Amino acid sequence: MSIFGEVPQAAPVAVFKLSADFREDQHPNKVNLGVGAYRTDECQPWVLPVVRKVEKMITDDHSLNHEYLPILGLPEFRSSASKIALGEDSPAIKDNRVGAVQCLGGTGALKIGAEFLRRWYNGTDNTKTPIYVSAPTWENHNAVFSNAGFEDIRPYKYWDAGKRGLDLTGFLGDLESAPDHSIFVLHACAHNPTGTDPTQDQWKQIADVMKQKNLFAFFDSAYQGFASGNLEKDAWAIRYFVSQGFELFCAQSFSKNFGLYNERVGNLTVVAKDQDNLNRVLSQMEKIVRITWSNPPSQGARLVAITLNTPELFAEWKDNVKTMADRVLLMRAQLKEKLKALGTPGTWEHITEQIGMFSFTGLNPKQVEYMIKEKHIYLMASGRINMCGLTSKNIDYVAESIHEAVTTVQ
Amino acid sequence: MHQHEMSTCSVFDGAVFISSEMKLTEDFKRDTHPNKVNLAGREYVGEHGHTTWLPLVRKIKQQIATDPTLFPEYPPILGIPEFTQRATELALGKDSPAIVESRVFGIQTVGSTGAVRLGAELLRSWYCSSSSWSGPILLSSPCDDSLTGTFKAAGIEDVQHYRYWDAESNDVCVENMVHDLENAPERCVVVLFASGHHPTGAELSQEDWKRVAEVMMKRQLFPFFLMSAQGLCSGSLEQDAWAVRHCVSLGLELLCAQSFSYSFGLYGERVGHLLCVLKQNMLAVQSQAEKLVQTLWSCPPMEGARVVATILSNPAHLVEWQESVKGIAEHCMLIRERLRERLRLLGGPGHWDHITKPGGLYCCFGLNAQQVEFLIKRKHIYLLPHGCLNVSAINSRNLDYVAEAIHQAMHSQL
């Protein structure tokens, strides 16, 4: 009799199952619009030229030691990563009240932040503090907070399917009615999966209610630079909240904007009231890291740190990021144009209004099924597509297929 | 719309300051004494006092960095198959019945801490059909605080200890250990060091292991092995894994957390592996492990695992690597012998078998807190509680100083 004999099979993660189905599909025109990674116009993954360069520098550097990184991570990575989020001349940084923990990708940063908050925020070991995640949100948010011990994870209104945009009224309403000190997971930019971000004015309204209600802002920033092509623009919301005096966490991922999906480069930026609070927080986070993965991996962090801290490499990186962002913007523009040219019913402005890797097309589950089964175009049941899966070679086929789906399937 | 003032209190006011576990290392770094020695480090250092890499490792890293066919994609959640396959074969032997019968799977983790954490999460979620198993789990006495902390963080609150290190004999007391296991609650989980016990270095013989395994079977205790330095203790990969293989041959289900930090010098890369040997239902457990991984780190970092997989998959590389591991084991044994010889010559009562009996990095002198403090504060020799130390940090330059200091700690009025 096995001690694990009763363990049930877990349902596969939708996006991975989609990719698996895509791989098995033999159809010559198949298109994968499900995966959350950048692709070139040849539909290939892209190693950023600056990354290749720095990788070689690292392997040729015989002075580097191979020891464990400090538990909180590589110092030059942590500080430069926080500067990227908050701005080089952030007053909070100047006040010595910004710190960071190098983590295993954005997931790891969320994990450490969640574990800290459960232990030390809103009382001690308060598992009942409500966690609010957007409806919809990245499917892993729920699991990370739940596994950290939080018992009450709730949606806040976000996507308005009717108008294909932000449900600001609903969002503000949920903020108003949230219990004080609730934690809100906010997407810093390029909302996953809708691609719909609040405007600056809307962020101001959101921040105002959060201040009133003492709600905690936990930013998830996985696409800085990748969304608009501009680092500062993509970090506006975070910086605004900091300027308004919020203490906050920001889980940063460098998977997309460095194309380093496999090295798990993340950073949890902590903004506290003052240095004393910061030190206490970091001391506890160190303990949490120690019993989770002990020390973070060195490869990716070194690479990012060298790039961010070397002016020519930093410039080259920003350029590489803009290349990716520009291709996405081009695909958005072209898809919208083609759908309009085909006379596809409905409005398609949201394709170019939305930002970042993902677009919520508005296709319903039946239409999505049609796309997959009949046209071999793989997208999420929610209608989410990854714009990076579009290329100059397949965009006509995709546009025509969307047209078919919308006109023939209700 | 009002502009509300932010409160002057911090939302983090409740967080208490806690001093770092790395305090000892930090104190060492700040210490300006010319003769300072750090025997509390976690890495293997060579005679020159630094961590080492195989030239082979550097070569392979260069190959990886310039390989145009390698793309930095998200790896599988459970890690790269070539790595988990090799890691499994390394631990169990290629022809292990568990492998032949497809009753084993492996998960690439973030170091052995990640493997322990993941194993703990798996147990908490699924052990004994429980949706929230909280123990008891038995750890050796002594053991790392962080080991206890890892299990507790995963929700396994009921942590107990079995007697392992005996201060009288400066060795493992198997009688005590077996007694404690025989009296352990049925079906509890027992954490066992296959080899290279941290922090004492004390080992069980194969005969001892047979007795332990027998009790485990009789009382239906579940073994969770830690094997952080396979090959480094005895110089033989097979010997260092003997305990795990023996349990598998008896048909026991088990977990085993492996580290590749020491054996490849890849500390910074965090290359770990969680081995799961089951009787049945492997795919379901694997799927649940995937879910848990996603709440921890989503998927593991590639660089180090690629290097290990490349080396273990190539016969010539494998031989070169095995030689280097043997070299490390031999170097540690040489230091032990020299330390023992010095202490013997310095005279004073005492047996020194415990220094050379076990292999690997760690060794324990069974010192009390006062003696340890003396060594740290007065002799600037940094070591772990109970007088456990990392022998690799002892070299020809500091051997005399260390030996004399230990002698002094043990035989003077402090």
**How many angstroms away from the CA of A80 is the closest CA of chain B?**
20
Instruction: Tell me if B324 sits within 8 A of B54, measured CB to CB.
Output: yes
**How many angstroms away from the CA of B139 is the closest CA of chain A?**
15
Contacts of A296 in chain B (CB under 8 A): 110, 270
Q: What is the pLDDT along chain A (410 residues), one digit of tens a residue?
A: 788 888 999 998 888 889 999 999 999 999 999 978 999 999 999 999 999 999 999 988 988 878 999 999 999 999 999 999 999 999 999 999 999 999 999 999 999 999 999 999 999 999 999 999 999 999 999 999 999 999 999 999 999 988 889 999 999 999 999 999 999 999 999 999 999 999 999 999 999 999 999 999 999 999 999 999 999 999 999 999 999 999 999 999 999 999 999 999 999 999 999 999 999 999 999 999 999 999 999 999 999 999 999 999 999 999 999 999 999 999 999 999 999 999 999 889 999 999 999 999 999 999 999 999 999 999 999 999 999 999 999 999 999 999 999 999 98
**How many angstroms away from the CA of A339 is the closest CA of chain B?**
31
CB contact under 8 A, B298 and A107: yes
| Six-digit token string for B118 | 């993941």
The pLDDT, as a whole number, for residue A64 is: 85
The pLDDT, as a whole number, for residue B6 is: 57
Residue B282: CB atoms within 10 Å: 18
Q: Kind and range of the H or E element at A199?
A: none
* Long-range pairs, A235-239, Cβ under 8 A, ≥24: A235/A84, A235/A85, A235/A86, A235/A87, A235/A188, A235/A189, A236/A189, A236/A200, A236/A203, A237/A186, A237/A188, A237/A189, A237/A197, A237/A198, A237/A203, A238/A85, A238/A86, A238/A188, A239/A86, A239/A87, A239/A90
Interchain CB contacts (distance < 8 Å): A and B: 263
CB contact under 8 A, B268 and A5: no
% pLDDT > 70, chain A = 100
CB contact under 8 A, B71 and A45: yes
Distance of CA B246 to the CA centre of its chain: 20
pLDDT digits (tens, 9 = 90+) for A22-79: 999 999 999 999 978 999 999 999 999 999 999 999 988 988 878 999 999 999 999 9
What is the set of active-site residues of A?
138, 220, 256
Q: How far is residue A178's CA from residue A215's CA, in Å, rounded to a whole number?
A: 8
Q: Kind and range of the H or E element at B108?
A: strand B104-110
Contacts of A9 in chain B (CB under 8 A): 283-284, 287
Give chain A's mean pLDDT. 96
Whole-prediction pTM: 0.95
The pLDDT, as a whole number, for residue B5 is: 52
Query: In terms of CA atoms, which chain A residue is nearest residue B55?
Result: A62
pLDDT digits (tens, 9 = 90+) for A142-183: 999 999 999 999 999 999 988 889 999 999 999 999 999 999
Q: Which of B414, B403, B387, B413 is nearest to B347 (CA)?
A: B403
- Cross-chain CB nearest to B294 (options A143, A290, A291): A143
Distances in Å between the Cα of A120 and the Cα atoms of A123, A144, A289, B92 are: 6, 17, 15, 42
Contacts of A107 in chain B (CB under 8 A): 294-298
CB contact under 8 A, B284 and A214: no
Q: How far is residue B223's CA from residue B256's CA, in Å, rounded to a whole number?
A: 8
Residue B186: CB atoms within 10 Å: 8
% pLDDT > 70, chain B = 97
Contacts of B261 in chain A (CB under 8 A): 68
ipTM: 0.94
- Cross-chain CB nearest to B278 (options A2, A69, A71): A2
CB contact under 8 A, A291 and B292: no
Contacts of B302 in chain A (CB under 8 A): 262-263
Backbone angles phi, psi at B224, to 5 degrees: -120, 100
Non-local CB neighbours of A214 within 8 Å, separated by 6+ positions: A180, A181, B7, B11
CB contact under 8 A, A59 and B58: yes
Q: What are the residue ranges of helices labelled H in B191-281? A: 206-218, 237-240, 242-249, 261-264
Residue B70: CB atoms within 10 Å: 15
The pLDDT, as a whole number, for residue A16 is: 85
Residue ranges of chain B whose pLDDT lies below 70: 1-7, 348-350, 414
CB contact under 8 A, B222 and A298: no
